[in-house]
Amino acid sequence: MSTATLTSSTHSHPTEASAVTRERLLDAAETLFAERGFRAASVRDITQRAGCNLAAVNYHFGGKLNLYSAVFVRRMGQLRERRLDSIRRSLEQHSTTSLERLLRSFTSAFLEPLVTESAGRTWVRLVAHEMADPQLPPELFLNEMMAPVQQSLADALRMVCPGLDAESADLCVHSLVAQLVHVVHLHRCATSGKDPRAQARYTPARLIEHVVRFSAASIRVLAGEGGVR
């Protein structure tokens, strides 16, 4: 099934009332899918929470799977634009953007919504359910978020580190994102536990600064060598 099919809506030009209903369905579905996963969250429960009739999911989305896909597409779009904007602002607001400034801007934009905002924490749970019980085509994640952010950040790294070749820049982005994904889970474990020392040690600010320092040092080494040998 194609991404277009999954994300299509029965009505492409909704009225204002219809648009409000659609958003209520997305909000309710996002919460229940994050709590229970795709299979356990029923259409009946979703429509009841949204205050809609049972037929509303088919009317607005064409079925439960399309609604599930739309939940992901909406949230990925918000996160994607936040990350892309962090890269743009870092490059536009300073005539000579440093590598650290670029990394700090992107790292903050990546981490903060996931560890400090309820919507971001809901997204982490959604992704965990999807990884455990996949329902969506992998290209949905690639096209909606991963590829655009990957390309933009790799280009920005080469702009601030001219010695970095394209392949190394690409791999550096993968390495950076892998660190950030780990940090999200580390922070979640630290804050959900009862050890105050772990909570103090793994604050978002400290984690961001470590990732920036560690990544900047590694990227500079690669740029100085002209890439991995």
CB atoms within 10 A of CB 128: 13
Give the type of residue at 106: F
Q: How far apart are CA 226 and CA 180, in angstroms?
A: 25
Measured CA to CA in angstroms, residue 109 lies from 5, 62, 85 at distances of 30, 34, 9
What CATH architecture applies to the domain 3-225? Orthogonal Bundle (1.10)
Give the type of residue at 159: M
Residue 5 pLDDT level (bands cut at 50, 70, 90): very low
List pLDDT tens digits, range 8-32. Answer: 444 445 577 788 999 999 999 999 9
Q: How far apart are CA 117 and CA 169, in angstroms?
A: 30
Work out the average pLDDT over 141-158: 95
* More confident position, 209 or 194: 209
Question: Which pLDDT score, from 0 to 100, does residue 7 have?
Answer: 46
Residue 75 pLDDT level (bands cut at 50, 70, 90): very high
Q: What is the mean pLDDT of the chain?
A: 88
Work out the average pLDDT over 96-123: 88
Boundaries of every domain in the chain: 3-225
Whole-model pTM: value is 0.83
